[in-house]
Structure 1
Amino acid sequence: MSLKVQIDGESASVESLAPLLLSNYGAFTSMQVEDGAVRGLDLHLQRLEQEALALFGVAVPEARLRERMQSALSGQARRSSLRVQLFLPAITHRTPDAMGQPNVLTVVSPPANPLCDALRLQTQDYAREVPELKHNATFGLTRTRRLAKEAGFDDALFVGPDGLVSEGSTWNIGFVESGRIIWPRAPMLLGTGMQLLQNGLDLVGLDSETRVIDRTTLAGFRQAFICNSATPACPVGNIDGRSLDVDPAIIDRLQAAWASNAPQSI
């Protein structure tokens, strides 16, 4: 399966992609599609609306977003990954104040396999700019993950300047304490995978709460997991060299909570 790249429903050209290559001012969402449907599609559409209003002052109508997504997926495999990205060519370094309805870039690629093996995480002092948005400024994310891998870990867990544990490079983190799910309270992205889990926790008999977590309290947790749009729940086996317990039964219940969200047709 090769990449299919479109801008506003038309095949992307080098010229049409130039604004994206020359500026990272934009935002996106990524999702896993099966038979034309997505779990949490409403969350992705809501995210795109919020991003557009925050960055460009004008939202793309939902009907138009759906048209762009349907065009991108036409003729593609029944399972695929879809990235929907918003950008406005009028915004440049010389005209940063331009406003208007953004263009819609869609990229269809092979489906992302969910992470399964227990992860080794390294805490790093880092916080994303405007963390509530899933924006294009990913230099710091890539750099922190590279540093973690150079140190023998799989990925980086961020600790902000306020000393609070927040999120990871492309995922949210949750902790397990006495059968209760604990989410960090900190500036971060409210991921679609995290929201799908929260929607289904009651159905699998799990309670949850949001709590401030710093490096000291982090050391008190014995179980953790990560989640994003491609991975319902993957256990964390190590943080900063400290081994954590891996309970397959908890991961199974979390995955069941995620699966309780019915796919929504695009």
Structure 2
Amino acid sequence: MAVAPELWIDGRPAGLEDLGHQALINYGALTSFVVEQGGVRGLDRHMDRLNRSAVDLFGEAVLEGCLRDQMRAALAGRAEAWLRISLFSRDLSLRQPDWIGAPQVMISVSPPPSPLPHDVRLQSQTYGREAPHLKHVATMGLLRARRMARLAGYDDALFTDAEGLISEGSLWNIGFIQGDTVVWPDAPMLDGVAQALIRDALERAGAPQRKAVVRLTDLSRFDGAFLCNSATPAAEIAAIDNHVFSGAADAVQQIGALWRSQPRQKI
């Protein structure tokens, strides 16, 4: 049975008024990550994501010092957890969508989730998230995509445009292995923190990587593929639709090790 997360609003336990607004108004941004030994890999990137999203969606940034204080209060000394930080405002509604101001902060604390499995089989679907550069709370489309993929016998959904241009997955970014090179799709998508950390680690290691247009018709050019997000640094993809990859397990393991080499930043 799933454990209900603890919910905090602006540093205090969430109240009915706050949660009622969240249930009725689906507008906001979020970021989420694993806390390990009291630290977070890429925490500076998560904070930057929240601030950019706050300005984009509400017109004002949030104070990083206040965010960190609220995170520490919600953790209450716990060194291991999964945090989801959401930005919203009770002052913004369907009748007042032009409200501008600093958003409120909701923090969810729950046990760290299990990583996504390896050897996943993906179903390509023609779909693009609204405002793909934002990690926002409008999740109906991606949840439906995952549901449709599962009901069709796949593990998850991979998003493409009408011409087969590959962008991202339902909850993760995708990378391809071509020889000793990592190839990142060049398409509208969320620039994930795990993806960014892997790119940085590859650059420091002097490992080749590049960004390129990748379509479904290009899959035979690659030895393998992997997915990555903050809960799953690197998981090997076995197949996309009817295309089965020859395998790149060693390369994917090395990518996961590069992610784990990133330092944990204290909250």
The alignment's TM-score, normalised by the length of structure 2, stands at 0.95
Unaligned runs of 5+ in 1: none
Residue of structure 1 equivalent to 2:145: 144
SS of the residue 2:187 aligns to: coil
Distance 1:2 1:124, change over 3 A: closer
The one-letter amino acid paired with 1:20 is Q
Count of equivalent residues: 265
Residue of structure 1 equivalent to 2:70: 68
Residue of structure 1 equivalent to 2:155: 154
Contact conserved, 1:199 with 1:261, CA < 8 A, in 2? no
Within 5 A, what are the aligned runs for 1:104-115? 104-115=105-116
User: Take 1:102 and 1:19, find their aligned partners in 2: how far apart are those partners?
Assistant: 13
Residue of structure 1 equivalent to 2:61: 59
Unaligned runs of 5+ in 2: none
Within 5 A, what are the aligned runs for 1:10-159? 10-76=12-78, 78-159=79-160
Contact conserved, 1:203 with 1:257, CA < 8 A, in 2? no
User: Take 1:21 and 1:115, find their aligned partners in 2: how far apart are those partners?
Assistant: 27
Alpha carbon RMSD of aligned pairs, Å?
Answer: 1.4
Shift of 1:256: 1.6
Shift of 1:205: 5.0
User: Take 2:202 and 2:111, find their aligned partners in 1: how far apart are those partners?
Assistant: 29
User: Take 2:213 and 2:249, find their aligned partners in 1: how far apart are those partners?
Assistant: 26
Contact conserved, 2:184 with 2:210, CA < 8 A, in 1? yes
Contact conserved, 1:88 with 1:103, CA < 8 A, in 2? yes
Shift of 1:206: 2.3
Contact conserved, 1:125 with 1:158, CA < 8 A, in 2? yes
Shift of 1:35: 2.3
Q: Percent of pairs identical after alignment?
A: 45
The alignment's TM-score, normalised by the length of structure 1, stands at 0.96
Distance 1:247 1:215, change over 3 A: closer
Within 5 A, what are the aligned runs for 1:162-201? 163-201=164-202
User: In the TM superposition, what whole-angstrom CA distance separates every residue of 1:179-229 from its partner, at most 9, and x where no partner exists?
Assistant: 100000000000000011011114555210000112212343230000001
Which residue of 4, 7, 10 corresponds with 1:8? 10
User: Take 2:161 and 2:38, find their aligned partners in 1: how far apart are those partners?
Assistant: 38
Deviates more, 1:175-184 or 1:111-120: 111-120
User: Take 1:205 and 1:186, find their aligned partners in 2: how far apart are those partners?
Assistant: 24
Contact conserved, 1:200 with 1:261, CA < 8 A, in 2? yes
Residue of structure 2 equivalent to 1:213: 214
The one-letter amino acid paired with 2:25 is S
SS of the residue 1:200 aligns to: helix
Contact conserved, 2:120 with 2:239, CA < 8 A, in 1? yes
Contact conserved, 2:29 with 2:86, CA < 8 A, in 1? yes
